[in-house]
Chains A and B, each alone.
Chain A
């Protein structure tokens, strides 16, 4: 296997304002994120030769990467849209590395945006995940339900409690309170978590992520070209994926997910391990998702996540700051695109509010997770 570790970099990032964006459309949010990213990298659209994006949940956006490239004045030598749910933003970066490595493009923008908080006036019809008709007749409708199944099983196997999941919600909210571009900034307590209404037992409202409007983008190029860009480049050190099932009906287990094999591959590629990570931006569509991923990534043994997340370990200043931007739980839910941009900012070293900066951040790990706990992708990023 040719090792690409350290040969490719993220040289630009863009984030839109997030939360409720009634002013915006799916198209405008994608373009806003691209513009912010190219401005950050101080590069013109004519100098970008590849574009990767998510498949929006609307059938008017078919072949969206090509449409979007031309809306953005980009003439792509490489373009496609990816549909791996919350693993999509990381998978885009991975595919960009591969495309550049084989010489199909040199400078690729990876952009993800969505409109889930306020109505999207874009014409067309929504598309669905698939297989819902084997769930909905029995009243199973929501992502909260799928993840509640995992939480329920984790509690049964390992004695994890709702109060343990609360640690993740509380710490993540604390980080959001320090982030000017976060939706939910008022700190919460264990009592707030335990008093929040039950959504799908055992998950409460404060175990659930937000529904958001917004977008983000990153620009990927080779380490050689990265020197020509003004901002400090961040190197891609390791990558992995694993998709161990598609639906709840064929999941071999719900307490170990794709993160195990995905992270093993990324660790191997980077020559690094869990102990080398200065922070972790771990997908948090629900608190249980982060808890299981921390275990799958080897930060603690399987079943010990409930103890790992306690005593400030996952808060900035602790051993492994988790979701330093506020995550999907409290910043915004853009399927993890902002987990990547936040990791880049932490590794640049001077790009976030000072109280939110992880001291001496050199290496961090980022996870993506999609579908019915089905898809998983991992990135390990490092300061150059």
Chain B
């Protein structure tokens, strides 16, 4: 881990595509599918980040299911300061906590509208943004 001028960990800004538990998630994103683990025992969605045992009932068996991509904004903020060079020309930008319809929450961006137009409680749907090495799920207001 590299460090900044004050000795703190530098900020990475990219997902870890090879994290074993999360590999299927990132592979599905590449195909523009939003997926999550569903417990084979209690049938609940694990939530994120992906993990090896169900956080509700501790069962190990699970399946990856494709979600509807629908969700609701739990909270929203706007970054007016950049902590990473890649965001210097993007401020101010929205970051939202989106609660997914089937369960689980993502830190993500609501795009397709100005930051001040993102409102808590608004319904949103997934859109995928492709980068050279990975694909990120983001959300847009439901029309």
Contacts and interface: CB of A to CB of B under 8 A. Distances in A.
Contact of B49 (A138, A202, A249): A249
Nearest to A126: B9
B12 A139 contact: no
B114 interface: no
Interface residues of B, number: 46
A200 interface: yes
B77 A148 contact: yes
A127 B92 CA distance: 29
Which label, helix, strand, loop or mixed, suits the secondary structure of the B interface?
loop
B13 A200 contact: no
Contacts of B15: 133-134, 137
A125 interface: yes
B11 interface: yes
A198 B97 CA distance: 20
Interface stretch (A111-119, A161-169, A262-270, A309-317): A111-119
Contact of B78 (A58, A135, A141, A201): A201
A126 B97 CA distance: 28
Contact of A153 (B75, B79, B81, B134): B75
Contacts of B81: 142, 144, 197-200
B113 interface: no
Contact of B138 (A116, A118, A138, A199): A138
A135 B12 CA distance: 10
A197 B80 CA distance: 9
Interface of B: 1, 3, 5-9, 11-16, 19, 47-49, 55, 74-81, 83-84, 87, 90, 92-93, 95, 97, 104-109, 115, 120-121, 134, 136, 138
Interface of A: 57-58, 115-120, 122, 125-128, 131-142, 144-145, 148-150, 152-153, 156, 197-202, 211, 248-250, 254
Sort A-B residue pairs by CB-CB distance and give the 8 closest, nearest first: A141-B83, A201-B78, A198-B80, A148-B77, A126-B9, A149-B75, A153-B75, A156-B120
